[in-house]
Amino acid sequence: MGRIFGKNGMRGIAVTEITCELAMQIGRAAAKVLASHKEKSAKILIGKDMRSSSDTIEAALCAGICSMGADAELLGEIPVPALAWQIKQREACGGIMITASYVGAEFSGIKMFSSYGYRLGDDREEEMERLIIDDPDKLEPKQRKRYGRILQCETAADEYAEHLKEIAPADLSDIKIAVDCANGAASLTAEKLFTALGAEVVMMGNTPDGLNINSSGSTKIESLMTCVTENNCQCGIAFDGGGERCLAVDEEGSLVDGDVIMAVCAEHMKAQGTLRNNSILVTQANNLGLLRFARENGIGTASAPTGERGMMRRMLECGFSIGGDPSGSIIFPDDAPSADGQLTGIRLLEAMKASGRKMSELASVIEKSPQVMINVPIEKNFREVWKNDRAITSVIDEFESILGEEGRVIVRETGKEPVIRIRIEGRDFSAINKMALHIAETIKDRLEMRD
């Protein structure tokens, strides 16, 4: 067995790859790592998205947790950020979310959270992996007087919606919006939430059946584009299956991605005096257009690794109040311990209403740079080798010099099955496309010579 947790938890085909046996061992390891320091009985919260496989994996996690003497409190079907917030509220020693976020129903996944509601750190996930892979004997249940109990919470989703209204009490009256819940966890809360804030809401993607999760939503936003224009909405917002991401559609049916949402919200926060350090946090994935927007509007930028865990760590260290990526994973650390799609939607609509402008006008503040991305699969034994090949690095250096401040070249390895991802941005699509192809061919040629 290889590494279990990646930068964003674990994900695989439900039940066959993320097996009941593995889920039970994760439950045991979580209880040992998260709850072993508690003198009295500790509890771990478990939430799940709307997939038909979630009940099966939940049962296995409960068996593992309770067999180690810790309690498992089940929050039921709930958005990921709701679980993250509830951990501190319920004085739990951690949380486990069963979700594969934005992918199809055949997948499942597990995300681990600390007692503060933040994504669990690498060191503790690695400790869990070591127990599961290298020292499974230490996870063998012992005879004990008290085993853990399974506790039920029926009100977690409603409590979360009330919490969002308290921390983001926006007045959305006189705004007509379309909301696509991706047939996921936001289906439980979004309509009541946005209606309570005063918006006129046209709902879609809010009839989950366990199989249709992410059949629409932030990763398949075309149906929302149509819904917005057909219903004369001023804006549309779309979530992913776990309720973490938010993308939008303007009144003309055009996409408003995470870069634009970041710009609109940052501009509004600066005007309100809530943009701490007068800066935003970005990743390598953000478009150069967002960086230009920030520079032209006197807003600083800082970078962090992709993935929520790395972004949140940097934001807490440096005191930023907003960060995110183009996919719509936006973090407001003053308000939430994780990326929260519905909170992002509220903040965006609040900024639109305060501006008095149409969403299409707000979105025009960013001039996006063309991007080209090419993936080059490599053999595992060639991992990291290309970084020390002068023929490859000199080509990258040359193109970086040519582009200067008007573009950038990002070349990195990604994925369990090694792939070198080449991403280039610049003003001239034809030029950067040729550059990307040239780098890809150089990598292939140089690695073939090493066979």
DSSP letters, 328-345, are S-EE-TTT-SS--HHHHH
Residue 289: how many other CB atoms lie within 10 Å: 19
Phi then psi for residue 302, to 5 deg, are -135, 155
Contact 268, 350 (CB under 8 A): yes
- Give residue 381's pLDDT: 73
pLDDT band at 1 (very low <50, low <70, confident <90, very high): very low
pTM for the whole thing?
Answer: 0.91
- Give residue 416's pLDDT: 62
Contact 58, 70 (CB under 8 A): no
pLDDT band at 143 (very low <50, low <70, confident <90, very high): confident
pLDDT band at 178 (very low <50, low <70, confident <90, very high): very high
Residue range 252-256: mean pLDDT, rounded: 97
In our burial notation (b when 16+ CB lie closer than 10 A, e otherwise), range 258-283 reads bbbbbbbbbbbbbeeeebeebbbbbb
| pLDDT at residue 321 greater than cutoff 80 | yes
- Give residue 450's pLDDT: 67
Q: Which residue has the tokens 């008290």?
A: 146
| pLDDT at residue 103 greater than cutoff 50 | yes
CA–CA dist 214, 185 (Å, integer): 10
- Give residue 40's pLDDT: 66
pLDDT band at 20 (very low <50, low <70, confident <90, very high): very high
| pLDDT at residue 271 greater than cutoff 80 | yes
What is the bridge-based pairing of β-strands 95-98 and 10-13? unpaired
For residue 208, give Cα distances in angstroms to 103, 172, 241: 14, 26, 10
What distance lies between CA 377 and its chain's CA centroid? Answer: 25
All residues at 6 or more sequence positions from 430 whose CB lies less than 8 Å from its CB, including other chains? none
CB-facing half-sphere around the CA of 343: CA atoms within 13 A: 26
For residue 250, give Cα distances in angstroms to 35, 121, 257, 267, 343: 46, 37, 10, 18, 18
Question: What count of residues does the chain have?
Answer: 451
355 catalytic? Reply is no
Q: Which residue has the tokens 């929520």?
A: 308
pLDDT band at 169 (very low <50, low <70, confident <90, very high): very high
User: 222-230 long-range CB contacts below 8 Å, 24 or more apart?
Assistant: 223/180, 224/178, 224/180, 224/249, 225/249, 225/253, 225/254, 225/255, 226/253, 227/178, 227/180, 227/202, 228/178, 228/253, 229/253
CA–CA dist 181, 342 (Å, integer): 10
Q: Which residues pair with 26 in a beta bridge?
A: none
- Give residue 39's pLDDT: 58
Element (H, E) at 295: helix 288-296
Angle at 375 (CA atoms; ends 223, 438), nearest 5 degrees: 120
CA–CA dist 97, 83 (Å, integer): 7
pLDDT band at 417 (very low <50, low <70, confident <90, very high): low
Contact 189, 342 (CB under 8 A): yes
| pLDDT at residue 137 greater than cutoff 70 | yes
Q: Which of 1-5, 23-27, 234-238 has the lowest mean pLDDT?
A: 1-5
| pLDDT at residue 38 greater than cutoff 70 | no
Residue with the larger pLDDT of the pair 384 and 281? 281
Residue range 47-51: mean pLDDT, rounded: 97
As a whole-number percent, the residues of the chain with pLDDT over 90 amount to 82
Contact 99, 48 (CB under 8 A): yes
3-state secondary structure of 4: coil
| pLDDT at residue 255 greater than cutoff 80 | yes
Rounded to the nearest 10°, the torsion over CA 164, 168, 174, 180 is: -40
Side by side, which strands form the sheet with 246-250? 200-204, 176-180, 235-239, 246-250, 255-256
Contact 194, 161 (CB under 8 A): no
53, 54, 101, 215: the active-site residue: 101
CA–CA dist 378, 440 (Å, integer): 11
| pLDDT at residue 451 greater than cutoff 80 | no
All residues at 6 or more sequence positions from 6 whose CB lies less than 8 Å from its CB, including other chains? 416
Q: Which residues pair with 110 in a beta bridge?
A: 10, 98
| pLDDT at residue 230 greater than cutoff 80 | yes
Residue with the larger pLDDT of the pair 168 and 387? 168
The pair of three-digit structure tokens given for residue 189, joined into one six-digit string: 């809360």
| pLDDT at residue 170 greater than cutoff 80 | yes
pLDDT band at 49 (very low <50, low <70, confident <90, very high): very high
Summary mean pLDDT of the chain: 93
- Give residue 412's pLDDT: 87
Q: Which residues pair with 18 in a beta bridge?
A: 14
Which has the closest alpha carbon to 219: 258, 265, 252, 164? 258
3-state secondary structure of 440: helix
Which has the closest alpha carbon to 437: 389, 402, 382, 395? 395
